[in-house]
Amino acid sequence: MPSRAARTLLCAALLAGSALGVTAPALAATATLSGRVVDAVTGAPVTDACVQATDENWDGTASGCVDSDGRYSLDVPNADLAYRVQAYGGDYVAQYATGHYTWDHADLLTAPGTADFALERAGAMTGTLVDSDGHPVEGATVEAFRPGSDEPVYQGTSSVDGDLTATVPVGDLVVHVTDGTRSVWAPDATDREHATTYHATLDAGADLGRVALPPASGIAGTLTDDQGQLVSDLCATVPTSDQWIWACSDADGHYSAELSPGSYTVDFQSQNPAYPSIWSGGSWTETGAKPVTVAAAAVTAYDLVVPRGATMTGRVVDAAGNPVANRCPQPYLGRTQTYLPTSGGCTGADGTYTLTGVPPTRVTLVVGGAWGNDTWAYHAATQQRARVFRLSPGGTTALKDLRLIAGRVAAGRVTDAAGNPLEGVIVGTEYSPRAGGPEGNHDITDADGRYELTDLSGTSTTLVAWDLQGRWAPVWSGGAPTADGATAVHLPKRGAAQADFTMKPAGTLTGTVVDASGAPVADTFDVSVFSGKSTAVQYGAGGWYDGKGGTFSIAGMPQAPLVLRFDNWETGETFWYGGTDQASATPVTVEPGGTVHLTVTRPAH
């Protein structure tokens, strides 16, 4: 609030020039705020008052002084904005419209508009603020309230010597003093109910006397490592309702943080490359941290042993083995989403990196790679398939080259209908059981049923999951039992496409080939299976009819319409079950886990 002398000079300057002084951008659209300023007790005009309007963005103001009847009129610079309007002058307390005393409580007025003021006479409030040891407290926040009101009529701070000199409305007041976590209702009450009521008059100010703030509350302690050495530059950080508390340990390992009473989990964030960041209770995660309880007007002692950090070194290379600069490997806690902050880390021109201050625990390591794909050590596209490194306090782990993944990535999980993981299932871009093994880009699921495919080309692909033993029916992306119904998997430029598979138990086709008389055929045939009317072989696992009267058996069948073709590669003879070609062949469907036996009549030849 402007001093009385400043207010008088301002009014004199404004009156000397004109009845109004307006600061506004050129050509701005203006509008008027007007009203009257009177004495709150007598109702008489306050003829030496001035008024100022400040827009909501703090960019533009308009100011002027009242006429002999206490009236004012301000042309505000921007009619599209709202304004806080304040009146002040003479022996009166400055007041915001309408009837408020602080900026935060002032009403926002739009123009054109009217705001009248009933100013109260000014009284004085004095006092001295000290801490619990009697030392002056600089910058303590002081608020004065009318008894029964929660809106302050004064807000200010103490001087460097702890002194307070304030202008307040005449009348009864209660006063609240705060500094950090310390709080007192003058002169020595812990709550408003027991606060002393002071009275400010025109002739005698309200003297608070000596107001002593209670001791601060918080935590303090010493940090040492697992060898008893003092640990510096670990900073206790605590989020509070309005700020982050940040208190770093000094060369003696000591730290202290002022906190309001309550329960807190403390994150000791390391600025020391030899040590990891750690949570209270020695946890690497916030969820595992142990809370520290802070009591009122007391400092809770909390010491912590911080394990020495581990070091990880290695080299990042591209798919061709060339070093890659400016890549920053990042460790995570095991196979969790908890990122572990470290010191150093990005690769130089030779592709090498060194991470220090790594928590000595189980970690996985990831680095952004070619095509925007994350590459997990070693050459894994997902964390589930990443190598887990076990680090020791103060130890150094040298990793082999971390080769970045080129191309695009798909990853997922293969389970049965009950959600149980299936290990040993082949997932790839091609279904090739007749070749005696998988072909093309493929992976084999681990014990948790997870797979990942890297170096995929294009923007999409279809995938198939199958097993060599024929225990499970093959399934294509999108859950289709045949390739005809497969849904293409979109391959993003960054990260891995997610493609999960649910497999059903495979069916089995068995049969015997007979001639027109019903006698077993003595020739040997290769039996292949196709899906529906497809022109492409979907299931070539095949079975051999050995011509000795035994049955052929083909495992790994899906629950889909299937047709069978018999081929004698020595003679070139070919025929279909139940038809003359694929289109007219008799379709056969096998239930999951079931077996269908066929008697196949060989056409006359």
Residue 199, pLDDT score: 96
Residue 372, pLDDT score: 63
> Greater confidence, 239 or 4?
239
360 and 309 Cβ atoms separated by less than 8 Å: yes
Mean pLDDT of the chain: 89
Residue 227, pLDDT score: 95
Quick: pLDDT tens for 383-394: 998 999 999 999
Would you say residue 18 has pLDDT above 50?
A: no
Mean pLDDT of 364-380: 83
Residue 445, pLDDT score: 96
> Greater confidence, 533 or 269?
269
Residue 536, pLDDT score: 46
Would you say residue 540 has pLDDT above 80?
A: no
Tokens of 164: 């307070």
Q: How confident is the model at residue 427 (pLDDT cuts 50, 70, 90)?
A: very high
Mean pLDDT of 106-111: 94
DSSP calls for 283-312? BSSSTTPPPEEE-TT-EEE--EEEPPPEEE
Q: For the chain, report the end-to-end CA distance as a whole number of angstroms.
A: 112
Residue 5, pLDDT score: 34
> Greater confidence, 19 or 35?
35
* DSSP 8-state code for residue 580: S
Contacts of 201 (CB under 8 A, 6+ apart): 123, 170
Quick: pLDDT tens for 486-498: 999 999 988 899 9
Q: How confident is the model at residue 79 (pLDDT cuts 50, 70, 90)?
A: confident
Residue 242, pLDDT score: 64
**Residue among 104, 101, 153, 148 at smallest CA distance from 125:** 153
Would you say residue 16 has pLDDT above 60?
A: no
Distances (CA, A) of 163 to 126, 142, 153, 172, 175: 8, 11, 19, 21, 15
d(CA 161, CA 167): 18
140 and 158 Cβ atoms separated by less than 8 Å: yes
Q: How confident is the model at residue 437 (pLDDT cuts 50, 70, 90)?
A: confident
Would you say residue 243 has pLDDT above 90?
A: no
Which of 29-43, 62-76, 543-557, 563-577 shows the lowest per-residue confidence on average (mean pLDDT)?
543-557
> Greater confidence, 546 or 71?
71
Would you say residue 82 has pLDDT above 50?
A: yes
Percentage above 70 pLDDT, the chain:
90
Would you say residue 9 has pLDDT above 50?
A: no
Quick: pLDDT tens for 288-317: 999 999 998 899 999 999 999 999 999 999
Q: How confident is the model at residue 357 (pLDDT cuts 50, 70, 90)?
A: very high
Residue 533, pLDDT score: 59
Would you say residue 520 has pLDDT above 90?
A: no
Mean pLDDT of 457-476: 91
The 3-state secondary structure of 84-97 reads EEEEECCCECCEEC
d(CA 396, CA 313): 7
Q: In terms of C-beta density within 10 A (0-12 exposed, 13-18 middle, 19 or more buried), how is residue 349 classed?
A: exposed
Mean pLDDT of 336-364: 94
Q: Which residue has the tokens 């993981």?
A: 421
Would you say residue 230 has pLDDT above 90?
A: yes
Quick: pLDDT tens for 249-287: 999 999 999 998 899 999 999 999 999 999 999 999 999
> Greater confidence, 14 or 138?
138
d(CA 472, CA 427): 13
**Residue among 581, 574, 566 at smallest CA distance from 605:** 574
Residue 284, pLDDT score: 96
